Amino acid sequence: MTKKDILELKKRLKKDGCTFTKLCGCYVNSEKEIVLNLEETFLNLEEDEFYKYLEIAKKTMSGTLGNNILQLEFPLEEEKPGGKQQFLMGLKESKLKNPGLMESFYQLVIDNYDYSGNYLILVYHDAYDVMTKTSDNNKLDESEEVYEYLLCAVCPVTLSKAGLGYLANENRIGPRIRDWIVNAPDTGFVFPAFSDRSSDIHSVMYFTKDTKEPHKEFMQYILGCPPKDTATEQKTAFQNIIHNAIIDEQKSNHVFMEIQDTLSQMVDEQEEIKQNKEEPIFLTPDSVEEVIESCDLPEDITKKIRTSYEEKFGDTPPVVDHLLDNKVLAASAQFREKKALVDKVTELQQQLEHVTNKQGTQALDRVLDDLQETDSMTGIDIINEDGEYDVILQVKPKKMQEITYEVINGKQCIVIPMDENEHADVRSE
């Protein structure tokens, strides 16, 4: 099942493209009691209702594939008589016209769906005439197959907020009447799945609004499929594996940032190589070990991370894209930019110090070239442009090696260190 498959179904959900034949449902209160049942011929709905129900169906096909939308596989036992897949097949083939089957389905949801408030169960029936497409995606005027499917949406029903409003019959401002409002779907599914533009009776397309808590009881007990983690859950689990292996929080965050950069590079490299960008890249335990080794971690920590990774993901490694954290990648990019700026400033400072020291050494060499030795004293003469002495300095020979030249406050200075028992005499002419 690809993004194109989902988009092909979703784009038909508009006034002139919709082919829903029937809509059934029931309203369930917080006591898990059915308050009302509804059964409608979809195309006969009033315009306002038509668009509201159509919008709910669209929402059930919305979100990110692998996160909000998951493809679940039926185990073999569920495809046998009495299994959940067989039950859904019977519901589809009845075209929602069998009240007994509908009641059984509603009760299955009520008994297993973990939700404490009121909600509305909606089930749509559709038959889509899949047109043949050429290699350049042009449609031919002939049908490949008729894709018949069910779309189910479970929508929370909540009480509108209290507030003031205009009471027209009393011509005054007063407390408005609070209504029970049907919200966007929280959970739903399409059966059978639409894979490679064809019906796949061995799987179901599952929708969840909350990717942190995707109602896995719905997957397992209502659809009969092994629960599957969303991308959000996989990303959180992967981050916990790294943090639990590395006790130091600061070190752990730094390592996780490095891993995110490496995974991002893997995706970029694979996209350059592969023409089909929808082909997923899986992060196997071997791949994880290679990624971690680039972080220069101790061998025991590397082994612990791999072991935890295998225990969590087993034979179903996640797609690399699902483990990428955009916030961490953005923080990493900002960190690299800041580090590059600091390195550049440090480099410029070193270059400046090198140039300054070189100029100072050359000036000192010029001064030392002018040294004049006497029997008891050695002198340093600094001559100005007019050939006159500005400074005449005389020191004992043993002090000559201690004299240094430095730039202090932007001025050239001769520095002579003095011991406690030494004395200096400064005179002016």
Q: One-letter amino acid identity for 322?
A: H
105 pLDDT above the threshold of 50: yes
* pLDDT value of residue 375: 39
Dump pLDDT digits (tens) for 12-71.
888 888 899 999 999 999 999 999 999 999 988 898 999 999 999 999 999 999 999 999
Two structure tokens written together for 74 = 């039926």
The angle that helices 285-293 and 249-273 make with each other, rounded to 10 degrees, is 120
* pLDDT value of residue 221: 96
Dump pLDDT digits (tens) for 294-335.
777 788 888 888 889 888 887 788 888 888 888 877 876 777
Q: Are 187 and 221 in contact (CB under 8 A)?
A: no
pLDDT-derived band of residue 389, with 50, 70 and 90 as boundaries?
low
Rounded CA Rg of the chain: 39
Q: Are 17 and 10 in contact (CB under 8 A)?
A: no
DSSP structure class, residue 65: B
| Domain spans of the chain, in order of start | 3-228, 233-324
Q: Which residue has the higher pLDDT, 345 or 22?
A: 22
